[in-house]
Amino acid sequence: MTLSQQRPNDRTDWWRGATIYQIYPRSFLDANGDGIGDLKGITARLDHVASLNVDAIWLSPFFTSPMDDFGYDVADYCDVDPMFGTLDDFRALVERAHELGLRVIIDQVLSHSSDQHPWFQESRQDRTNPKADWYVWADPRPDGTPPNNWMAAFSGRAWTFDARRRQYYLHNFLPSQPDLNFHNPEVQQAQLDNLRFWLELGVDGFRFDVVNYYFHDPALTDNPPMPRERVQPGNPQSYQFQQHNIEQPENLPYLERIRALLDEYPGSTTVGEIAGNDQLPTMAAYTQGESRLHMAYTFDLLGSTGDAAELHDVLARFRELGEDTWPCWALSNHDVERSATSWGEERALLALTVLCSLRGSLCLYQGEELGLPEAELAYEDLQDPFGINLWPEVKGRDGCRTPMVWEDAPNGGFCPEGVPPWLPVFARHRPLAVERQDQAPDSLLNRVRQLLKLRADSDTLRQGEQQLIAPEALPEDVFGVVRQSGEQRLLCLAHLGQEGAVAARVRLDDLVPGANGWSSLALPGMATPQLEGRELGLEPGQATWLAIT
């Protein structure tokens, strides 16, 4: 039996309504004492992940890489970087995860490689070699400038001149991350072969980095300017609308080829990261029907601050665009400010309670179960090129990538004392360590375990339909949805008002006309709401789930 046949259970749609726990390998646990997390460290702590009542893990890149962008610059798609271990270590990780009932999803960075990848090393030799057309090359303009105005995500032009070929190559990110040319059928097949390699090793699915970036406009048309009100002055790329460098129509047929491959491995799944200027329509299109991605996510909720009206607007717009599609919602990940800071540290449990009430699959980022706030770092501690290049207007992504805290110790139990971790352990994280919260029954960690168990045990929350409640039908600052599966209905409400907001009175008959009665589910860390007749009282920061009869 191959690892690809050792699935935790037989349900092929396990991903629908699942909770996925994202692990950033560099920062999870250092098992070999070099200050950098590794695969053996992840395997050693999978029991903690399983205790959260999640369904799967998602591993950020661990492939061979020079680490200019910390693994998102891949030099070998089919091997493990020695920094993280070996392929045997990965096999052991998959085996242990499956023993614990956890599926394994891994990152795939298909749109671009490292400039150290053998494909690019060959491609840049001349214009006639077998891989000459595997990357996006273009001649200079007559005055020597780049072929168009496209800008890179990490500042500067999206083109770098190569003296040997006397051409520019495209890179939507760092100059050391050249874009692959997906208009070349050989490139498409090479990346499908890469996916098959990992499926045969037993992975249960893929998270696709910038899945809408695979194809570019071969005419290299200039991008139009962004409306001034949407420009972020500290980020040069935001000055233009990314119309021609990403989201080309050829992307959809290629996603269908990917889905056809995964259909050969029942129970495998996909989740795509949608980045760009208008993300929700792309998310809907990329997950439409049964022949494209299983799931996708955007940055719309990842940028949420917990405002009830804004939260409703994102979900309402998605409903209009993708009623028959399946989303994957998250409030935190390795690219954005931690939700305990964006929503407020005192509202960390409230944020996850709202997340658990939504239709779709969920993604929890390591440390979110502990309520870790965004770490504050000095410029000299930064590792992220995004932050280094755009400091201080953009502080980069290191604040959400600092090491996981397992113990209240100088290095948080992440690596041995006396060994400098790759990013400093934030002092305010140490009292929130797993070891301390494990021992406190009312800790956020234990409440999150209970919350995720409630969702895992509820077909209504995992699989049910969702009816958004319009803001005008609710008191100010109150967010609400009705979830339904068959005859089972659940009214989920949350008062998202900030400090100083007034208590809300909710007339239940106005929200669910004709209901015979209500019974409140005991939510961890939430006081039982006041129910007086047909009216419910909610304090700021309070959430409730009511079973409707």
Residues facing residue 177 across a β-bridge = none
In the chain, the amino acid numbered 407 is E
C-alpha torsion 335→339→342→345, nearest 10: -140
Spatial separation of the C-alpha atoms in residues 263 and 192, rounded to whole Å: 13
DSSP state of 538: E
518-520 vs 543-548, strand pairing mode: antiparallel
In the chain, the amino acid numbered 366 is Q
**394 with 458: CB under 8 angstroms?**
no
In the chain, the amino acid numbered 206 is F
In the chain, the amino acid numbered 315 is L
User: Out of 47, 193, 263, 264, which one is annotated catalytic?
Assistant: 264
Residue 311: which residues within 8 A CB-CB, separation 6 or more?
A: 301, 304, 354, 479, 496
103-108 vs 56-59, strand pairing mode: parallel
Q: Is 165 exposed, middle or buried (0-12, 13-18, 19+ CB in 10 A)?
A: middle
3-state secondary structure of 451: helix
Query: What per-residue string of b and e applies to 457-477 under the rule 16 or more CB within 10 Å gives b?
Result: ebebbbebebbbbebeebbeb
State how far the alpha carbon of 281 is from the alpha carbons of 247, 322, 400, in Å: 11, 8, 28
In the chain, the amino acid numbered 99 is E
Q: In what order do the strands lie in the sheet with 205-208?
A: 295-297, 269-273, 205-208, 103-108, 56-59, 19-23, 361-365, 328-330
In the chain, the amino acid numbered 119 is W
- 209 is an active site residue: yes
Report how far Cα 510 is from the mean position of its chain's Cα atoms.
36
Spatial separation of the C-alpha atoms in residues 468 and 542, rounded to whole Å: 19
DSSP state of 225: B
Report which of 127, 132, 154 is spatially closest to residue 73, judged by C-alpha positions: 154
- 264 is an active site residue: yes
Query: What per-residue string of b and e applies to 219-245 under the rule 16 or more CB within 10 Å gives b?
Result: ebeebeebeeeeeeeebbbbbbebbbb
Two structure tokens written together for 382? 């930064």
In the chain, the amino acid numbered 256 is E
User: Out of 68, 69, 89, 209, which one is annotated catalytic?
Assistant: 209
SS3 for 138-150 is ECCCCCCCCCCCC
SS3 for 292-351 is CCCEEECCCCCCCCCCHHHHHHHHHHHHHHCCCCCEEEECCCCCCCCHHHHCCHHHHHHH
What are the catalytic residues? 209, 264
